Amino acid sequence: MASDTPRSPPDAPGHDLHPTDAASAGLERNGHDPDPKRRRPDEYRERRIGGTRTPFTHLWMNRIGDEASRILPDNQSDLIVSSTGRAWLVGPATGVEVTELTPGTTLRGVRIGTAWLRPIVGVEATELTDRHLAFDELFSARLARRLADALWAGRFDDELARLLWPRAEADGRVAYAVRALASSGAPAVGVLAESIGVSARHLRRLVERETGLPPKLIHQVARLRRTIDHAASGTHVDIAQLAVAAGYSDQAHFAREARRFSGLTPTALVGRR
């Protein structure tokens, strides 16, 4: 999520949840402690709990600050619970979203691996793209309650995931395609399809069904986020050189995709990183 604040919850009934300090244990902090004399920034923490071959990749916590959050696509989806009592899924995004939540609200969530969305939710992933859906709309009452309680307590891990979704399994072809598309040397879709043994058209449909996103967009989003990470690793950034190093055809190409996925110019995007 380059500002990884989840999107605002839908107006749907949720669960009676209460914040606990213990749930933040083990989460790496990406932010600052609020200063009561200044505007409070978001305070975000996360830790990796899995990889590309497991259903869930990161467990996270975000305490909302005073300013609106700019959420960039990241090719993934999130299961989220809030201190307001709501519990919902944020589906895969195709563009930027600027949202405001009540300052001081605490969100806790887990990020679903790109290739695992349909196996976890149980519907074609294209039905979830750019949508927010309450747990109760997606899962049984028992699963929704157990999931919300585990997320809020910070006790969600691979073992619990296997218990809650014992039959979930990602399509190996899609998992392979996602890894290839997100890599810096991503092949053309036709070449990738041939290596998997399917037509380019079939691969596109397969990837969209399982992830909610077309292959080209997965590649574009991954490239932009790599570019942001690369910029954050240096003290001085030349936008033109950054664009070429990231694989854009030129600076104008980088600018178009930066605006599409962040709503910002490359200079502004790199400056916010």
pLDDT digits (tens, 9 = 90+) for 216-267: 999 999 999 999 988 888 766 789 989 988 999 999 999 999 999 999 999 9
Which carries the bigger pLDDT value, residue 59 or residue 9?
Answer: 59
Among the candidates 164, 182, 197, a domain finishes at: 164
Domain range enclosing 116: 21-164
Query: Which pLDDT band holds residue 39 (cuts at 50, 70, 90)?
Result: low
Whether residues 139 and 180 share a domain: the answer is no
148 is written with which tokens? 């919300």
Q: For residues 240 and 243, what is the distance between their CA atoms, to the nearest angstrom? A: 5
- Give 158's contacts (C-beta < 8 A, 6+ positions apart): 49, 50, 54, 55, 56
Whether residues 48 and 146 share a domain: the answer is yes
Structural domain includes residue 54: yes
Q: What is the mean pLDDT of residues 15-39?
A: 49
Q: What's the pLDDT score for residue 11?
A: 35
The count of C-alpha atoms lying within 13 angstroms of the C-alpha of 72, restricted to the half-sphere facing its C-beta, is 24
CA angle 248–213–171, rounded 5-degree value: 115
Q: What's the pLDDT score for residue 149?
A: 97
C-beta separation of 105 from 84 below 8 A: yes
Whether residues 33 and 151 share a domain: the answer is yes
Structural domain includes residue 81: yes
In the chain, what percentage of residues exceed pLDDT 90? Answer: 70
pLDDT digits (tens, 9 = 90+) for 117-129: 999 999 999 999 9
Helix/strand/coil for 117:
helix
Kindly tell me the burial class for residue 226, based on how many C-beta atoms sit within 10 Å of its own C-beta (0-12, 13-18, 19 or more).
middle
End-to-end, the C-alpha distance of the chain in Å comes to 12
Whether residues 192 and 237 share a domain: the answer is no
- Please tell me the total count of domains within the chain: 3
CATH number of the domain at 255, please: 1.10.10.60
Among the candidates 147, 164, 181, a domain finishes at: 164
Structural domain includes residue 68: yes
